[in-house]
Amino acid sequence: MKALVYKSTGSWYVVKNEVHQTFNARIKGVFKIDEITSTNPIAVGDEVEIEIENTAENTAVITNIYDRKNYIARATPHHNKERHIIASNLDQLLLFATLKEPRTSQGFIDRFLVASEAFHVPPVIVFNKADLYKKKEMQLFEERKNMYVEIGYTVLLTSMQTGEGADDLKNILLNKTTLISGHSGVGKSTFINAIVPELKLRTRDVSGWSGKGMHTTTFAEMFDLPFSGRIIDTPGLREFALTDITQQELSHYFPEMRERLSECQFNNCIHVNEPGCAVKKAVENGKISEERYISYYNILSSIEDKNY
């Protein structure tokens, strides 16, 4: 029978069938999946075929995996070329960011957006902790919101304290499978607890955990929402993999650059020192934000040039 993977620990999987029965499953046999090298054969969000092993103990074996619509991966720490699939079959990525306690850097947000473009999963950016924003942060929020909305992204302002933005956020999650990510301390667990009350995920307040200097390897887990939809929590996840992106490709993942590429004088332009560059001209004219260009340049510099 068909089932969906809700949790993966590497050797065991929690799966649910179409009538919402839960099984602990393991893999039988060897899977050849996609054309990618990954450290894990099966991930949260995968649709799999299972055979029940023991009805009393609710155990099953996974005998097959169906094609993935998409997936998102992180780089593995010691193996730049290898990927670890975080989750698959996603409708959207939800980035939780904050402008205070702590402030999420623009660079981090833009790297997230590049990953979402590269993996072909649309992003939504949420600025949380609105209740803490004073005039300065509100001004910054408006600037960033305008900048991102202009290039086609959805931006929300929320507060888990006051409930501001909660309805808009719920509407965005409705009927979709959403992967939530963001730095530690921005309010992801607080948010998931608020929409799935019976969960009681550990938040920083409850645990008293400082979050500093601790390396926890936890696993992605999917939850059914009380209204229709699913959310995938990714505790401990730092960043998505940008490992396969070449310097040549990078500007394709900035929508405001992508639409101007054909106007660059050289078709292999990387928009740094080339004459007749339409991207640099747009930055000079204020049509492309300088902050976005800086993010582009920083990511470009971090990519090994595979052409040389």
Ligand X SMILES: Nc1nc2c(ncn2[C@@H]2O[C@H](COP(=O)(O)OP(=O)(O)O)[C@@H](O)[C@H]2O)c(=O)[nH]1
User: Which range of residues in 83-91, 127-135, 187-195, 246-254 is near Mg ion by CB under 5 A?
Assistant: 187-195
Contact status: 260 vs Zn ion (CB under 5 A): no
How many residues line the site for ligand X (CB under 6 A)?
18
Shortest Å distance, C-beta 117 to ligand X: 23
Establish if 189 lies at the interface with Mg ion (CB under 5 A). yes
Pick the closer one to Zn ion by CB: 75 or 277.
277
The answer to whether 178 and 92 are in contact (CB under 8 A) is: yes
In the list 121, 186, 232, 270, the residue contacting ligand X (rule: CB under 6 A) is: 186
* By the rule CB under 5 A, 234 interacts with Mg ion: no
Contact residues for 154 (Cβ-Cβ < 8 A; gap 6+): 123, 124, 125, 172
Quote the Cα angle for 118-298-238, to 5°. 60
190 binds Mg ion (CB under 5 A): no
The CA-based angle 232-181-202, given to 5 degrees, is 70
**204 binding partner (options Mg ion, ligand X, Zn ion, none; Cβ < 5 to 8 Å by kind):** ligand X
Q: Which residues of 171-208 are buried (b: 16+ CB within 10 A; e: fewer)?
A: ebbeebbbbbbbbbbbbbbbbbbebbeeeebebeeeee
Q: Is-contact 179 71, C-beta < 8 A?
A: no
* 159 contacts ligand X (rule: CB under 6 A): yes
Q: Which residues pair with 97 in a beta bridge?
A: 127
Q: Sign of torsion, CA 223 227 229 235?
A: negative
CA 160 to the chain's CA centroid: 20
Which residue's Cβ has the minimum distance to ligand X? 187
Euclidean distance between CA atoms 276 and 251, whole angstroms = 16
Query: Residue 151 Cβ, how far from Zn ion at the closest point, in Å?
Result: 17
- The binder of ligand X chosen from 29, 205, 213, 285 (CB under 6 A): 205
Dist. CA 28–CA 39, nearest whole Å: 17
Tokens 């029940």 sit at which residue? 52
Q: Which of 68, 83, 129, 230 binds ligand X (CB under 6 A)?
A: 129
Give the residue among 92, 23, 76 at the shortest CA–CA distance from 232: 92
- When the beta carbons of 183 and 188 are compared against Mg ion, the nearer one is 188
Stretch that binds ligand X, among 58-66, 108-116, 117-125, 197-205 (CB under 6 A): 197-205
- When asked if residue 204 is in the footprint of ligand X (CB under 6 A), the reply is yes
Residue 128 binds ligand X (CB under 6 A) = yes
Residues at the site binding Mg ion, with contacts judged by CB under 5 A = 188-189
Residues at the site binding ligand X, with contacts judged by CB under 6 A = 128-129, 131-132, 159-161, 182, 184-190, 203-205
Residues at the site binding Zn ion, with contacts judged by CB under 5 A = 264, 269, 271, 277, 279
